[in-house]
Amino acid sequence: MHMRRYSCAIIILFFFAIACKHKEKQTVVSKAPAKKTHAGKPQSQGTPKGAYETLKQTVGLSKKEVDNSELYTFVGKWYGVPYKYAGCGRSGVDCSCFSNILYEQVYNKKIPRTAGEIYSICRKKSLDDAREGDLLFFKISGNIISHVGIMLRKGYFVHSSTSRGVVISSMQEAYYKKYFYCAGEVRNS
């Protein structure tokens, strides 16, 4: 009985350890990080210019559309925040915590902490059926869900990349096509 509990605990720790800890291809839509304040930290008010330019170029949004959308304002404020394994703040954030914070602040929904746990509470759907705000799941580290991002418009998604931090990437990139598993919509509780 004790060995079974011990084995389960090891398995759970293993899955937590590999969640979002993978090596991504180093391609991004824009290399411009979020505008920094004199203290070197991302701005907390308004959409930084670099983030707005990226949203304009990739997703085709006007400044007014960005400023009038909670989702795109949030993306703009977090754009360029560095990746940090198990990080959950502006000094560094991993993919699942970024998704967690976005869902809580933009959609007023609490979702689990790890990519695999988030996947387990979603209604699965294809990429063709994915809408803005849906979650995108990837199997990059073997046969488990190891990365998560949030769908934007026109085939783009936002996520915390291990190599570039919070960025906007395209689902048309060969790397993401290769590892994409499915989209998901958070079920209403």
Distance, CA of 189 to chain centre: 22
Is residue 46 very low, low, confident or very high in pLDDT (cuts 50, 70, 90)?
Answer: low
Is the pLDDT at 102 greater than 60? The verdict is yes
Q: What is the spatial distance between Cα 76 and Cα 55, in angstroms, rounded to a whole number?
A: 8
Which one of 20, 95, 122, 182 is the catalytic residue? Answer: 95
Give the rounded percent of residues in the chain with a pLDDT score beyond 70: 75
pLDDT of residue 33: 41
Which one of 20, 97, 122, 147 is the catalytic residue? Answer: 147
Which one of 20, 97, 159, 182 is the catalytic residue? Answer: 159
> Domain coordinates of the chain in residue numbers?
44-186
| Residue 38 appears among annotated catalytic residues | no
Question: Which of 176, 168, 162, 186 lies closest to 47 in space, CA to CA?
Answer: 168
Is residue 62 very low, low, confident or very high in pLDDT (cuts 50, 70, 90)?
Answer: confident
Is residue 1 very low, low, confident or very high in pLDDT (cuts 50, 70, 90)?
Answer: low
| Residue 159 appears among annotated catalytic residues | yes
Report the chain's mean pLDDT, rounded to a whole number. 82
The average pLDDT across 72-101 equals 96
Is the pLDDT at 8 greater than 80? The verdict is no
Answer for the pair 33, 80: CB distance below 8 angstroms, yes or no.
yes
Is the pLDDT at 49 greater than 80? The verdict is no
H or E, element range at 77: helix 70-78
Answer for the pair 175, 123: CB distance below 8 angstroms, yes or no.
no
Q: Using alpha carbons only, what angle is made at residue 103 by residues 124 and 179, rounded to the nearest 5 degrees?
A: 45
| Residue 122 appears among annotated catalytic residues | no
Q: How far is CA 73 from CA 63, 78, 79, 123, 145, in A?
A: 10, 9, 10, 26, 28
Is the pLDDT at 13 greater than 50? The verdict is no
3-state secondary structure (DSSP) of residue 5: helix
Q: Which residue has the higher pLDDT, 11 or 130?
A: 130
Answer for the pair 130, 147: CB distance below 8 angstroms, yes or no.
no
Architecture of the structural domain at 44-186: Alpha-Beta Complex (3.90)
